[in-house]
Amino acid sequence: MPLSELKEWVSQIATLTKPDQIQWCDGSGNELESIQALLVRQGTIEALNPKTRPNSFIARTDPRDVARVEERTFICSEQEADAGPTNNWMEPSVMRTLMRERFIGSMRGRTMYVIPFSMGPVGSPFARYGIEITDSPYVVASMHTMTRVSQKVLEEIQAGKPWVPAVHSVGMPLVDSQENKIADVAWPCNPEEVYVVHYPETREIWSYGSGYGGNSLLGKKAMSLRIGSVQGRDEGWLAEHMLLIRVTSPENKRYHLAAAFPSACGKTNLAMLRPTIPGWKVETIGDDIVWIAPGENGKLRAINPENGLFGVAPGTSEGTNKAAMDSMDQNVLFTNVATTKDGDVWWEGMSKEPPANLTDWQGKPWTKDSGTLAAHPNSRFCFPMSNTATLCDDWESPEGVELDAILFGGRRATNVPLVVQSRSWQHGVFMGATISSEQTAAAEGPVGVLRRDPFAMLPFCGYNMADYFAHWLSFGEKIAEDSLPKIFQVNWFRKSSDGSFLWPGFGENSRVIDWIISRLEERSEGQQSPIGLMPNISELNLDGLNFEEGELEALFEVDPESWLYEVRSIEQFFERFGAKLPQELRAELIELEARLLQEQGAMV
């Protein structure tokens, strides 16, 4: 598309939204400094102590605008069936009318920023381009970190590369319909009218009413996952909610692992893993989004399309993720954390005892007797990938890296072993399709209340998830089994009968990675179970760890009765997809049940 057509689109959006002025962003350091200074003047961000956190800032949002709003996120495909049962859908023409009504004059009194950005290195065969229009300078500053904002994107568009049009407004004009001026606020938003809307067929994104990053940084979840997954389906690749790491063994052999975990399941910790066992090294390539595509040799290659890291702060500490803490020494934008009297930051879990005289995430004085949290549970840190203490030197390789293994995991106190390898690619897709985390103890049944989050993509798949399962299965048809990555399921969170964790987790998870690599190298045989291949205890490097009697066995226990209950739970989940569910997954469930019944019979 020539730039004249892009400029015409920008002009149309300006005519609709009526900003005071238009600013085209170039991605320069001077531009970022100017935006940061503007945000400080507006009171949206506050500079932290330059001696302890150089060029770092804290933002405090409106208390009503603190997280992604899944119930206000829509996939407006032409046909409702294409959105599927896991997405909110509205007929596209109805939604377009609704959006147009919201956006008329929505930028009055504000500057409209035009942000040309790339997900992936500009010029990479993996790269996909977008233009985000926004009236939020906070979004401009954050997009500078999370994407590659560059004039080169315009050159790629001029050369004919496709791009995703993305429009965002905080939904708070500064001039009303009677031409009266409205006073601005530090965090403008319209929380009663939030919409995050995707049109898969036209690759468009429209976001209204929220300034929070997950709803407003449209290169991230909206483009890289929701629209990206549709592009991947149509173009033969995968857009995934995954981390990506390089693992180097003591023999200096390199392996690349991607992992899909739902929230609160240790994704960022694994992305920045510092192994506790000698000789092993883990380097970060990405912590949240991975694009996977067949390479020239037929094997799958992977890339992190992001340029920054946007992580949850609470629970992050020197003990849980030292690499993350080491990565936050400069150039960080914190959102909704607490601040100390000397201009630094704090959140729950950062230290055992909170510092005295904190200011909480809403800007109020706070002590440990306040009866509230100092930092919001979804408070964030945002920094460029170049900050990352464990960063892989060639993380920006335009060709990506060859993928050796894929891990799936949830937070399960029961049933799911520490690590198990799939029996085949098809079985591995079944594992991914049935990922779950326990939320609360169940009133009946031995498993607990589960939230199924297939491939950790429940909020992010831009089309019918049954078709998404079929797309994953198709790689097993196109690529030879021995050329595909091996698939494993992990669970760091299994508990004993007294409620304590059986596995120490964190850096000790490198021992599980060690066994996974041993399977890739065919050094370990493992043992078959009804749910897949598990380690022989002797194959695990447990040097220096102490377990009570029976704890190791409990980590790998596969109880047929509990698993048959799980089969019923999976059946109920699969029913949501009706006839669209791939028969291969139904077959895997039937075979799982048969193996469990056989095991149960052998135990009688």
- Catalytic residue numbers, as ranges: 265
Contact 120, 305 (CB under 8 A): yes
**How many whole angstroms separate alpha carbon 381 and alpha carbon 578?**
41
Decide: helix, strand or coil at residue 204.
strand
Decide: 410 and 491 in contact? Cβ < 8 Å: yes
Question: Could you give the angle at which helices 583-603 and 425-433 cross, rounded to 10 degrees?
Answer: 90
* DSSP 8-class letter at 156: H
The position carrying tokens 């799980």 is: 566
Give 333's contacts (C-beta < 8 A, 6+ positions apart): 45, 56, 57, 59, 141, 142, 145, 381, 382, 383
CA atoms within 13 Å, Cβ hemisphere of 530: 27
- Helices 583-603 and 560-575: angle between axes, nearest 10 degrees: 160
- Helix H, strand E, coil C: the string for 454-523 is HHHCCCCCCCCHHHHHHHHHHHHHHCCHHHCCEEEEECCCCECCCCCECCCCHHHHHHHHHHHHHHHCCC
Query: How many Å apart are CA 341 and CA 298, to the nearest integer?
Result: 56
The amino acid present at 117, given as its one-letter code, is F
- Written as one string, the DSSP assignment of 389-420 is TTB-TTTT-TT-EE--EEEEE---SSSS-SEE
Tally of helices (H runs) and strands (E runs) in the chain: 16, 31
**Three-state DSSP class for 228?**
helix
**Polymer length in residues for the chain:** 604
Q: How many CA atoms lie within 13 A of 400 on its CB side?
A: 28
Scanning 236-393, the segments in alpha helix (DSSP H) are 267-271, 322-326
Q: What sign has the CA pseudo-torsion 148, 152, 153, 159?
A: negative
Tokens 């089969």 identify what position? 567
Q: What are phi and psi of 109, to 5 degrees?
A: 85, -5
